[in-house]
Structure formats: C-alpha cells, structure tokens
Amino acid sequence: MLSGEEFEVLLIKGEGKRIEFKEAQQSVPSSLYTSVTSFLNKEGGIVLLGITNDGIVKGLPDHKRLQYKQDIVTALNNPEIISPVYPLDVREVDFQGKQVLYIRVPVSSLVHKHAGIIYDRENDSDIKVNDDRLISDIYFRKRQTFTETQIFPGLKMEHLSQEVFNKVRKLIAAVNTTHPWLTASNERILRDVSFYRKDFSSGAEGLTLAAALVFGKDETIGNILPAYKFDVIVRRENTDRWDDRLPPLRTNLIDTYLLVLDFVKSKLPEKFFLEGTQRKDLRELIFRELVANMIIHREYQTAIASEIVIYSDRVEAKNPNKPRFTGPLDLDTFSAEPKNPNIRRFFSELNWADEIGSGVKNINKYLEYYIAGSKPSFIEDDIFLTTIPLISQRLDHFFIIVIHLARLSPYQLGDSKKAVLMTLPLNPVFANIPDLDHFAHKIVSTWAEKSRKLNQLRFMIFNNTQISDVKKAGTWEEKSKKLLKKRGNTILSTLLLALEPMTLEELTGILGYKNKERYREDYIKPLRICHLIRYTNPENPNDPNQAYVITKRGKDFLGGYNI
C-alpha cells in the first residue's frame, strides 16, 4: 500500500520520468493507458488519479471511484487497448480526507502498445514511437534488461522435468483448487507466464531462460548456466569456514526455494504473533520473503553465486544484481522493479510472492516483532546485500552521550524523552565500540554521512576531528564542540526534543531562540521536508497549537541506520 509519507514525497517530486498525475474528474482519461504503456516499456512508475498536473490533490468523487476501478481493470485486460495485456491492481489512498486512485506499473520484459502504438517515456512525457530504429532500440533494451527472456531455440520440452510440472500443480492445488493450471497442458502453463515467447524484432521463437530455470532438468540448467549455484552456510562457531551448510544447489527454482527456506528455518528460532485475529509465523513471513526475493531479482547470467550466511548475530544474503542505482534503499520511498518479472509472476501464482516491493517491506515490517528493536538493511549494488540482525541493539547507556553531543542537559530533555531515547534501535555496527569517545566520534560521522543525501538538511560537523582530539577534550561540552558545528548541534537537539510532541514556542524557549520564524525556516522546515519530524496536526498546518514530533525515519537517523 502507498503510505502517507510516500504520497507526500511523490507530490513534492511532481511529475517526471516515473510519476504521472491525472486529474480525472469527469472520466478515466485515455491518456492513462498511454502512460501505463510508456511505463511498462521504460522503467516503470506510478500513475495517480485525482491530482492535477501541478500536484494539487482534488481527489475523486465517491460515486465514481468504483466505476473507475472497474473500467481500468477491464481496459488493462483488453488487447485492443494494451497489447500484450498486462493486468494491474488499482488501489486507493486517503490524503487529508480526499480519495486518490493509484496504479503501480512495473517495467515489463515485453514491448507493449496502446491502441496499436508503442510509447516510451521521456522526462514527464509519453512519446509516440514510430521510427523503426527507435522501436528496435526498445526491443534491444528489453533483451539487455531481462535476461530471463532470452530465447534458446535448441531448448525443447524434453529438456524440462515432468516431475517439476507435477509438483507445481500440487503446490497450486494446496492454495487454489480451481486454478486453471491444474488441468492445463505443460505448454499452456509456459505460455501463460511468457516462458515461451516470440521476439518480433528478430523472429526468434521458443522456450526462454526462465523456462529452463523453473522447469529445467538439472542437466539442462547445468548446460545453459554452468556456473550457476545457490549457497546457504552457517557460520556461528567457525566463522572462517562453516559449521553447517546446504550442499550447493544447481537445480530448478521450485526445489531451490523449498530447500533453501526449509534449511534457513531449521537454523533459526520459531516465533508467532497475532495480526488481528490471525496467528502468524514470523520466521516464515520474514525468510520466505528473503528467499523469494533472491530468486526473483537475481541476475542469472553471471558466474557469482547467490549466498545466504547465517551468523550468530545476523543473516546476510548476497545476490548477483543488475542495479538501477547504488546505495541503501529508502524504505519509505523506494520504487521496486522486478529484475525477472516473468519469474515473479510465476511465483505469485504459487502464493510465494505478493505485490511488487512487498518482500522488502514485509521483512522490514515483521522483523520488529521477531527481534524487538531490530532493523534490516538493503543495499543495491552489483551484489545486492540484505542484512537481517538477529540481536536487539538499542541506544541504552549511550543515550547520555547523545544528550551531551546535543549540548542539552538531562533536565532539559526530561525523564519521559530520556526513556524513549534509551530504547531507540541502534545500528549493529556500533555493537563493538571500545569506549564512549569512539562511539561519539563514529555516531557523529554517521549522522553527517546520512545527511549528505538530504539536501535541505545540511547537518554540519568538523570533518577533520580525529579520535585523539576527542580524547584530549576534558568535558563532554568540549568534545561536542570539537565534533559538531552549531547547525549540526541545533538539528540534533531539535530531534531529541521532538521525541515527544513540542510546539514551536517550547522548542525555541528551551534552545534560546528569540526569532521563532527564523528557527522554523532554518531548522523545522528542513527537518519536516526530509521527513525526520512531522506535524501533529497535518490537516491544519497553521493551527496555533501546532506541534512537531519525530518520525520513524528521524529515529532511524538518530540510531545510525540508512534512511
């Protein structure tokens, strides 16, 4: 689902390469399908209905929303409107009492047309593509992006495993006894998920790499991808080698998923919790997402292995990747893109994958219940690194150092805020800090590093301060002055004071600012734009009793996590 914070970020960014607004007050505009087509062909994106081009949220009339949904779903399944058809969910989000519809559009492995015309996306425009050379470029781009769609003319049905087809039918029957695949031929199943396709630019037609990976015999997979393997290792006692391991897997993705998930679960404790009235297995929820994500998003044409390593304090998963950017994922605003959309679609039929991007979000959501105070990290690069901490790390006794760095007194902060601060999750990289001086030096550097990606914030420190300089300083006030410049100090103290709701008058009174408007412009506004603090009454920003409180993202910032 689209969160309130993500919605606000989309409004701030405005229309662009991957964001499109449609006012849609009278009817569903035909340009909606032009935008969906261009997003499918380019890099994916999100279309929002009920918003003007310049980002004013009008919402949609109550009596029209259901009809809009029905019309859009019908159209997306009509080959005369979008071909090949690409069914998508139409969802609702409430913003300040106004209802908006939105459609998340992934990048597709196929080239799509709207009303017989190919569209591409440039900046905030949908471009009609008529030139043969440009059309060829789009087909080439698809082949380069989605290696799963590579056609192997020599790959035949006899190279696939009937045993795997039978297993798939049994797995589907367990969740849907009326699924059409239960009686469909093997060939029909392959065509339904585009594992058998025709490349209209080259004329090639046949089974794809995805077909071999999902249904192939081990010998078939070994011949096509001789270096492919999936490793799962336990390193708790013998960290230089291993304590236990799953024999390296070079088999089909169905058995890979089942074997890897069973092995990982056997090495980790079981824990249940109630979500509403449902009793759920947290271990299953978290690690099925991890394993499915690795299979769905892996770049298969590489000699590097997929690897899960189980340590005593964390699980690390490394997966070969074709990155769209490098760096940590912002869990509030990131837009997920399947690297192998046909494999993802197949896994969703088995109930092993949900909405695009749900894997990362579900791991983040349920880990807090599995290991209190724990927070995963996801770093996109040539190797996609997922880290799931297995121990709870909190600020605890380090809280007093953070107060000193902010140049606040415990009295100014107050007992209730101190209690909140002590329980804030702390990035596990701080687990083995030798002393308080090293902690202060490292946490300040971490805050500065995280803030560089927040253009409005300008969290300022003294970059050349060495740990020896910190140790030489006599008092914590002196240490703070060697580490933090005035702006960095004020940002930190504002975040700490906002651990509980505080009005502008209360904040400026404690911090000694006489010019309230200047403080609001210089500090409150940047912190709010960066989603580190928020209004307590967002529907009425000018409320005379308006207060500010730290967000989850702000708490993650204080704890040294990627934001």
- At residue 64, the pLDDT reads 86
- At residue 426, the pLDDT reads 87
- At residue 77, the pLDDT reads 86
| Averaged pLDDT, 108-113 | 82
In a domain, 16, yes or no: yes
Within this chain, do residues 36 and 72 fall inside the same structural domain, yes or no?
A: yes
Sign of the four-CA dihedral 260, 265, 268, 274: positive
Taking only the tens place, the pLDDT of each residue in 126-168 is 999 988 889 888 887 776 667 898 899 899 999 999 999 999 9
Write the Ramachandran bin of 94: left for phi over 0, alpha for psi from -120 to 50, otherwise beta: beta
What's the CA gap between 514 and 380, in Å, rounded? 45
- At residue 293, the pLDDT reads 94
End-to-end CA distance of the chain: 19
Most confident option among 190-199, 253-262, 440-449, 481-490: 253-262
Helix (H, G, I), strand (E, B) or coil at 325: coil
Q: Contact, 48 vs 101, CB < 8 A?
A: yes
Within this chain, do residues 245 and 342 fall inside the same structural domain, yes or no?
A: yes
Q: What average pLDDT does the structure give for the chain?
A: 90
Sign of the four-CA dihedral 80, 82, 88, 89: negative
- At residue 248, the pLDDT reads 95
Rg (CA), the chain: 26
| Averaged pLDDT, 372-400 | 85
| Averaged pLDDT, 40-49 | 91
> Which two tokens mark 234?
């336990």
Considering 194, 209, 224, which residue would you say is the last residue of a domain? 224
Query: Is 80 exceeded by the pLDDT of residue 17?
Result: yes
Within this chain, do residues 130 and 275 fall inside the same structural domain, yes or no?
A: no
Within this chain, do residues 370 and 411 fall inside the same structural domain, yes or no?
A: no
- At residue 143, the pLDDT reads 65
Q: Which of 399-403, 449-453, 488-492 has the lowest mean pLDDT?
A: 449-453
In a domain, 104, yes or no: yes
User: CA nearest 511: which of 499, 497, 501?
Assistant: 497
Write the CATH number for 385.
Answer: 3.30.565.60
Q: Which of 232-236, 331-335, 531-535 has the lowest mean pLDDT?
A: 331-335
- At residue 324, the pLDDT reads 67
Query: Is 70 exceeded by the pLDDT of residue 325?
Result: no
- At residue 169, the pLDDT reads 97
* Residue-number span of the structural domain to which 175 is assigned: 146-224
- At residue 57, the pLDDT reads 93
Write the CATH number for 70.
Answer: 3.30.950.30
CB within 8 Å of 456: residues ≥ 6 apart: 525, 526, 529, 530
Q: Is the pTM of this model over 0.85?
A: no
Within this chain, do residues 240 and 377 fall inside the same structural domain, yes or no?
A: yes
- Type of residue at 246: L
In a domain, 420, yes or no: yes
Confidence of residue 321 (pLDDT cuts 50, 70, 90): confident
What angle (nearest 5°) sits at the alpha carbon of residue 58, between those of residues 55 and 61? Answer: 145
- At residue 328, the pLDDT reads 75
> Which two tokens mark 224?
């096509």
Within this chain, do residues 236 and 365 fall inside the same structural domain, yes or no?
A: yes
- Type of residue at 231: D
Confidence of residue 335 (pLDDT cuts 50, 70, 90): low
Which has more pLDDT, 81 or 132? 81
Query: Is 90 exceeded by the pLDDT of residue 217?
Result: yes
Q: Report phi then psi at 80, rounded to 5.
A: -75, -15
Bridge-based pairing of strands 383-389 and 502-503 is: unpaired
Within this chain, do residues 434 and 538 fall inside the same structural domain, yes or no?
A: yes
| Averaged pLDDT, 282-308 | 92
Q: Which of 9-13, 47-51, 53-57, 370-374 has the lowest mean pLDDT?
A: 370-374
Within this chain, do residues 139 and 152 fall inside the same structural domain, yes or no?
A: no
User: What's the structural domain count of the chain?
Assistant: 4
Within this chain, do residues 25 and 164 fall inside the same structural domain, yes or no?
A: no
Query: Is 80 exceeded by the pLDDT of residue 368?
Result: yes
- Type of residue at 241: R
- At residue 377, the pLDDT reads 85
> Which two tokens mark 380?
């996109």
Considering 224, 254, 289, which residue would you say is the last residue of a domain? 224
Q: Contact, 344 vs 338, CB < 8 A?
A: yes
Confidence of residue 246 (pLDDT cuts 50, 70, 90): very high
Taking CA atoms, 302 is separated from 106, 293, 299, 305, 433, in Å, by: 24, 17, 7, 8, 37
Taking CA atoms, 491 is separated from 281, 460, 486, 532, 555, in Å, by: 40, 9, 9, 10, 13
Which has more pLDDT, 455 or 484? 484
User: CA nearest 11: which of 50, 61, 57, 71?
Assistant: 57
Q: Contact, 532 vs 495, CB < 8 A?
A: yes
In a domain, 541, yes or no: yes
In a domain, 291, yes or no: yes
User: CA nearest 285: which of 276, 267, 273?
Assistant: 273
In a domain, 563, yes or no: no
Rounded-to-10 torsion of CA 395, 400, 402, 406: 160
- At residue 358, the pLDDT reads 77
- Type of residue at 61: P
Confidence of residue 33 (pLDDT cuts 50, 70, 90): very high
CB within 8 Å of 27: residues ≥ 6 apart: none
Within this chain, do residues 338 and 418 fall inside the same structural domain, yes or no?
A: no
- At residue 489, the pLDDT reads 92
Query: Is 80 exceeded by the pLDDT of residue 485?
Result: yes
CB within 8 Å of 443: residues ≥ 6 apart: 398, 401, 402, 405, 430, 560
In a domain, 181, yes or no: yes
What's the CA gap between 536 and 555, in Å, rounded? 16
- Type of residue at 476: W
Q: Contact, 167 vs 320, CB < 8 A?
A: no
Taking only the tens place, the pLDDT of each residue in 416-466 is 999 999 988 888 778 778 888 899 999 999 998 888 878 778 888 888 889
What's the CA gap between 117 and 133, in Å, rounded? 15
Write the CATH number for 519.
Answer: 1.10.10
> Which two tokens mark 168?
């798939």
Query: Is 70 exceeded by the pLDDT of residue 333?
Result: no
> Which two tokens mark 67?
């009809």
| Averaged pLDDT, 312-324 | 87
Within this chain, do residues 136 and 158 fall inside the same structural domain, yes or no?
A: no
Within this chain, do residues 22 and 88 fall inside the same structural domain, yes or no?
A: yes
Query: Is 80 exceeded by the pLDDT of residue 543?
Result: yes
In a domain, 422, yes or no: yes
Query: Is 90 exceeded by the pLDDT of residue 37?
Result: yes
Number of H helices, E strands in the chain: 23, 22
Considering 352, 370, 389, which residue would you say is the last residue of a domain? 389
What's the CA gap between 360 and 554, in Å, rounded? 20
